[in-house]
Structure 1
Amino acid sequence: MSTENKVGNSTQTNLEAFIRFPITNNITITPDIQVIFNANNNSANSTLIIGTLRTVFSF
């Protein structure tokens, strides 16, 4: 059985955008936004919008 047969009619689409802001030589902040259409491959599900703020400390 192929993967396509197991997945079926997949319609979920994920979009992601992020940008890296160096604060200092050792600290970077990266805001991120994700938009998920047809979550769980179900068109009846609402669009999900997820925001994340990542901070990286380098030593």
Structure 2
Amino acid sequence: MEAAGIEPAKDSPSTCERGLPPLVTRRGDRDLRLLAGLVLSVVLVLAAFALAVYWMARGTE
């Protein structure tokens, strides 16, 4: 890359020095975080539903 006149940015601050969490720096990571939050929400709702069904089934014995 140096042959093409492009030098690596050695003096740019890292994400920790700027005080930003690492996932905020890249464009695609925001979508990944939203997808992870959606998956986590669905898992929690399904777990709550399964627990409610278990409690109702246990109460009818």
Normalised to the residue count of structure 2, the TM-score between the two structures is 0.22
More strand by share: 1
Which structure ranks higher in relative contact order (CA pairs < 8 Å, sequence separation ≥ 6)?
1
Normalised to the residue count of structure 1, the TM-score between the two structures is 0.22
More helix by share: 2
